[in-house]
Amino acid sequence: MEHKPKNGSVKLAAGDMDYIRFGAGKQSLVMLPGLGDGLRSVRGTAVPMALVYRAFAKEFTVYAFSRKTVLPPGYTTQDMAQDQAEAMDRLGIRQAAVIGISMGGMIAQFLAAEFPERISKLVLVVTAARPNPILAGSVREWVCHARAGNHAALLESNLRRIYSEGYYQKNKWLVPVIAKLTEPESYDRFFVQAEACASHDASHQLRKIRAPVLVIGGEQDNTLGGDASYQLAREIPGAKLRMYPQWGHGLYEEAKDFNQVVLDFLRT
């Protein structure tokens, strides 16, 4: 029986975590979003996400998870992977394919390395094994705008660094409107996740990953650089690499064949 798109929350030993679910497949697919989760969780996005990723819905029951609602200072991507494993346990997800995008890919690296029996396949999208100067600059810029309370500047920087120049020029006029509608009451979750992102280093764990891995990157990535994807693929045993020469960090939205590339890998 097909699951209607669902917005939910799962209680963990220390806090709770928002998630969404859609699809009717026998296999489970877990999606972990990027740093934007610090500004807005996945709560309320079940229907639009089901539309964007409808190609997966027949073969998979798809879950997308936020980080915990309340994050203590100093919480790391490794801590977040522990949370993710617990959330899967509580929802009865014994094994899943995992797609980690940007910071979600950082968490997925630890999840696959520390819980190898839980991961059937792993897709790491525009992410890095460790910090680099481009990533540090991106996070520093965003945190600076957030600390100043300038949400419009934060969104403008995000748009400029993540998407292609054409997309940026076409949509930058929307930034003031979206900023007024989406400004969070607090940036606390964002600050904790930003620090975790900037300090992430799973390079010592990558050799433990046993699941088949596809790394997807963009040569024009202005958020963490295209070299990060090359480096990540080299350090994971047997990983496949797909680079998009014309796209950057937002390739998962801009590349028209992205869903099909991922689906083909998951089917193989």
Read off the pLDDT of residues 164-207 as tens digits, 9 standing for 90 and up: 999 999 999 999 999 999 999 999 999 999 999 999 999 999 99
Domain at 3-267, CATH from 3.40.50.1820, 3.40.1010.10, 3.30.450.20, 3.40.50.2300: 3.40.50.1820
Residue pair 254/164 in contact by the 8 Å Cβ criterion: yes
How would residue 62 be classed by pLDDT, with cut points 50, 70 and 90? very high
Residue pair 223/35 in contact by the 8 Å Cβ criterion: no
Task: In whole angstroms, give the CA distance from residue 30 to residue 84.
Answer: 10
Kindly tell me if the per-residue pLDDT of 1 is higher than 50: no
DSSP 121-165: EEEEES--SS--HHHHHHHHHHHHHHHTT-HHHHHHHHHHHHS-H
Summarize pLDDT for 138-166 with one digit per residue, the tens. Answer: 999 999 999 999 999 999 999 999 999 99
When pLDDT is averaged across residues 38-51 and rounded to a whole number, the result is 95
pLDDT for the residue numbered 150: 97
Residue written as token pair 């699951």:
3
* Domain locations along the chain: 3-267
